[in-house]
Amino acid sequence: MKKFNLFFSIFSLLLISLPVNAARAEGIEVKAAVDKDIVTIGDKIRYAVTVSAPKGIEVEFPAIEANIGEFSVRDSGFSRKAFFGKITLINRYVLDAFKPGKYTMPELTIKYRRPGETEWKEVKTGEIPVEVESVLAKYPDASDIRDIKGPVGLPSKYTFLLYTLIAIIVALLAAATFMYIRNRRLAKAAEMASRLPHETAYERLRALKAKGLPGKGRIEEYYVELSNIVRCYLEDRFNLRAPEMTSEEFLSGLKEEEKLSRAHKALLKEFLFHCDLVKFAKYGPSPNEMDLSFESAEKLVDQTKEI
């Protein structure tokens, strides 16, 4: 609405340069104007009726709903301004025209009366001619209607068969790839399930040793992985939830556990204590201590493995 009012405020200032019909009566001035008197079907026409009168005079505009003559009302607005003892009233309309031809914006009757008067007086706006042109008149080439393009030919029988064969081959390759990957995963899972816990532990210990982490200065990483190998082995071998516990919790739970001998519990306690020193106390073990930790892990697996 603000945009609408701004347009018509500018529009009302430019009335003198637009098609205007004006009338005066007893100090009352009425103007009617359109923003253009030649339009194309579908264009919008801005139509304004302005009344200027001394303050105190009562003014009444005609009631307009759906149409003004041959034109349909699409929007409307009203404004009132007072300046130096005069008032200016503006009724604004946005109109549509859908039939070509020469039309007349009909005259509108404005009623007014002065203070103390009971009878209404009238002043008319007068008519404004407006011409509505068809699109063909504005764009002569629009009548040059061309035939639509012919239908696009469908692929030949052999082309269709080739595309079908390619699609089948691609589908078969995708299915074969999926089955190959799936079978490899299943075979690996079956192999892992069939292996004994100590076999897995030995393999992981060999892989850790092959990494050479101590020689690269990655001491803490080496002890984290070594400790994890032993914990996972104990979980698989004795169904102990070792990886999920702290060393203290795990060793406390082993006090009543009969699956491990006292000697094995002592070996495990010493091993985990040394690992925790490196992991949490930032202890720097010597190469000999690192070798002893690895041998303790192997010894624990050797002495507790399933025979």
Q: What are phi and psi of 100, to 5 degrees?
A: -70, 150
Do both 6 and 129 map to the same domain?
yes
Structural domain of 219 = 195-304
Which of 135, 165, 181 is where one domain is finished?
135
In a domain, residue 165? The reply is: no
Identify the helix (H) or strand (E) that includes residue 56: none
Which of 135, 155, 187 is where one domain is finished?
135
Pairing, β 38-40 against β 128-133? parallel
In a domain, residue 150? The reply is: no
Do both 114 and 199 map to the same domain?
no
Do both 18 and 120 map to the same domain?
yes
Do both 10 and 115 map to the same domain?
yes
Say if pTM beats, i.e. exceeds, 0.85. no
In a domain, residue 286? The reply is: yes
Q: What are phi and psi of 108, to 5 degrees?
A: -115, 145
Amino acid at 105: M
Residues 272 and 245: their CA atoms lie apart, in Å, by 12
Task: Convert the pLDDT of each residue in 230-285 to its tens digit.
Answer: 888 888 877 766 556 777 777 776 666 677 778 888 888 888 888 888 877 778 88
Task: Convert the pLDDT of each residue in 28-44 to its tens digit.
Answer: 888 888 888 888 877 78
Residue-wise DSSP of 130-177: EEEE-HHHH-GGGG-PPPPPPPPPPPPHHHHHHHHHHHHHHHHHHHHH
Closest CA relative to residue 226, chosen from 196, 211, 205, 245 = 205
Domain count, the chain: 2
In a domain, residue 143? The reply is: no
Side by side, the strands of the sheet bearing 86-96 are: 20-25, 28-34, 44-54, 86-96, 71-83, 67-68
Do both 120 and 209 map to the same domain?
no
Which of 92, 119, 135 is where one domain is finished?
135
Do both 54 and 124 map to the same domain?
yes
In a domain, residue 173? The reply is: no
3 Cβ contact partners less than 8 Å away, ≥ 6 residues apart: none
Asked whether the beta carbons of 121 and 26 are under 8 A apart, the reply is yes
Average pLDDT, the chain: 78
Asked whether the beta carbons of 74 and 96 are under 8 A apart, the reply is yes
In a domain, residue 16? The reply is: yes
